[in-house]
C-alpha cells in the first residue's frame, strides 16, 4: 500500500485506522472519506478528506483517480443491531457500497480490503472453536450482507484478479469511538459506565460468550494482512481472527480489580441477545496465523487495564 482510500472513516474502526495508517504511510498518502464532515475531527484535519456517499460509485472513482490511489479499505456499513432494525437500508449500504468499491478497485487496479465479521456465522455453525471453513447460515440481515460480501470479494479476485483481502472481526473494543450499534458494544459501554457511574446494566445476559479484540490488535491485523505475501494467502477474504472470548460477568470481574465497588446488572435486549445467541462462543484463527502470521498483544486483563487508563484521561476522571 502506498496511497490508500478509506470509506467510512468516521466510524469505530476508521476513526482509529486513519491516524494509524498515516503514522505508517504518511499523512498525505491516506485519503479519508465519509458521508459527512464533522467539526474538530482529527481524522478530517490530519490529512486529505473527501465527503463521499459510497452509493455514489462515480464520485468514488473520481476521488481514487484524483489522489492516484493504489489501495482501497472499505469500511462503510451499518452494524448488526442497526442493520436488523433497518434491513432494507442495510442491504443497500452494505452491499451496494461494497459493489461500488469493488468496481472502482477493478477499474483502477487497486488492492482491496473490507472487513467481514463473526456475524457471518449463524445458529447452525459450530459454536466452539468455529472452523475457518464451515457452514454459514446467518439469521440477521447484517450476517447475510457479510456472507454475501465475502462471496463477492472472492468473485472479484477469481473473475477479475482484484487483490481482495479481509478478516472476520470479532467484537472490537476501543476507548476512542463511542459505541455504534453493534451487538458486542456492551463490552465498550461497560467501561464508560464503570468509570462514570460505578455500575452497568447489561443488555446481554450472563453466560453469553463472544469473541472480542482490542482495537490496537485489529488495526495491526489490517496492515499485516494487506502487506502479506499474496502467494501465501489461501482464504483471502474471510480470515477468522480473535484475541479473547468472554461473557459479561468475566469482564465485570476484571473491572472490579480496578474499581472495587463496581456492580453489573442485567436487562436483556431480546433483539441483540438473539443476535449474540446466533454467533459462535469462540473461533479458530489457525489459518490467519499460518498464512500471514496473525498475532495479538492484548488479553482481557491487559485490555481492561489499558481501557480504564485511557478512558480516565478521555473523560477527565481522576
**Spatial CB neighbours of 131, under 8 Å, sequence gap ≥ 6:** 240, 284
pLDDT of residue 99: 98
DSSP 130: B
Q: Rg (Cα) of the chain, in Å, rounded?
A: 19
The separation between the first and the last C-alpha atoms of the chain, rounded to the nearest angstrom, is 41
What is the per-residue pLDDT across 236-294, written as a single tens digit (0 to 9) for each? 889 999 999 999 999 999 999 999 999 999 999 999 999 999 999 999 999 999 999 99
175 and 237 Cβ atoms separated by less than 8 Å:
no
Which class would CATH give 4-170+214-240?
alpha beta
Please give the Cα distance from 202 to 265 (Å, whole number): 6
C-alpha cell at 81: 443491531
Please give the Cα distance from 94 to 160 (Å, whole number): 21
Q: Is the dihedral of CA 272, 273, 276, 277 positive or negative?
A: negative
Please give the Cα distance from 309 to 313 (Å, whole number): 7
- Asked: is 172-212+242-315 a CATH 3.20.20.70 domain? The reply is no
Helices (H) and strands (E) in the chain, counts: 13, 14
Q: Is 25 a catalytic residue?
A: no
C-alpha dist (Å) from residue 237 to 41, 91, 108, 150, 287: 31, 19, 19, 6, 12
pLDDT of residue 12: 87
Please give the Cα distance from 44 to 106 (Å, whole number): 27
- The Cβ-side half-sphere exposure at 315, using a 13 Å CA radius, reads 18
Residue in this structure with the C-alpha cell 457500497, named with its chain if needed: 97
Residues in the chain, pLDDT under 70:
180-181
| Domains 4-170+214-240 and 172-212+242-315 agree in fold | yes
pLDDT of residue 181: 66
How many C-beta neighbours within 10 Å does residue 97 have? 28
pLDDT of residue 127: 94
Q: Which of 25, 142, 200, 214 is catalytic?
A: 142
For the chain, give every domain's residue range: 4-170+214-240, 172-212+242-315
Amino acid at each position: 500500500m502506498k496511497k490508500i482510500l478509506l470509506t467510512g472513516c468516521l466510524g469505530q474502526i476508521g476513526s482509529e485506522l486513519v491516524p494509524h495508517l498515516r503514522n505508517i504511510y504518511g499523512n498525505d498518502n491516506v485519503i479519508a472519506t465519509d458521508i459527512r464532515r464533522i467539526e474538530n475531527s482529527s481524522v478530517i484535519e490530519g490529512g486529505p478528506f473527501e465527503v463521499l456517499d459510497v452509493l455514489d460509485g462515480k464520485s468514488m472513482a473520481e476521488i481514487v483517480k484524483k489522489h492516484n490511489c493504489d489501495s482501497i479499505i472499505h469500511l462503510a456499513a451499518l452494524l448488526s443491531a442497526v442493520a436488523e432494525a433497518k434491513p432494507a437500508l442495510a442491504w443497500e449500504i452494505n452491499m451496494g457500497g461494497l459493489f461500488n468499491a469493488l468496481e472502482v478497485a477493478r477499474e483502477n487496479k487497486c488492492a482491496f480490503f473490507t472487513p467481514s465479521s463473526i456475524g457471518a456465522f449463524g445458529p447452525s455453525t459450530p459454536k466452539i472453536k468455529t472452523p475457518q471453513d464451515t457452514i454459514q447460515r446467518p439469521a440477521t440481515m447484517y450476517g447475510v450482507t457479510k456472507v454475501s460480501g465475502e462471496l463477492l470479494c472472492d468473485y472479484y479476485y477469481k473473475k477479475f484478479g482484484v487483490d481482495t483481502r479481509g478478516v472476520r472481526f470479532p467484537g472490537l473494543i476501543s476507548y476512542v469511538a463511542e459505541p455504534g450499534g453493534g451487538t458486542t458494544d456492551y463490552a465498550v459501554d461497560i467501561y464508560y459506565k464503570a468509570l462514570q457511574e460505578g455500575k452497568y446494566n447489561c443488555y446481554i445476559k450472563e453466560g453469553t460468550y463472544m469473541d472480542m479484540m482490542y482495537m490496537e490488535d485489529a488495526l495491526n491485523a489490517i496492515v499485516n494482512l494487506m502487506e502479506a505475501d499474496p502467494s501465501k494467502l489461501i482464504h483471502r477474504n474471510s480470515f477468522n481472527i480473535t484475541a479473547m472470548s468472554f461473557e459479561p460477568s468475566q469482564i465485570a470481574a476484571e473491572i472490579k480489580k480496578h474499581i472495587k465497588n463496581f456492580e453489573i446488572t442485567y436487562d436483556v435486549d431480546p433483539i441483540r441477545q438473539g443476535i449474540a445467541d446466533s454467533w459462535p462462543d469462540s473461533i479458530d484463527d489457525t489459518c490467519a496465523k499460518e498464512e500471514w502470521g496473525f498475532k495479538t498483544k492484548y488479553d482481557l486483563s491487559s485490555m481492561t487495564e489499558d481501557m480504564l487508563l485511557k478512558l480516565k484521561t478521555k473523560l477527565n476522571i481522576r
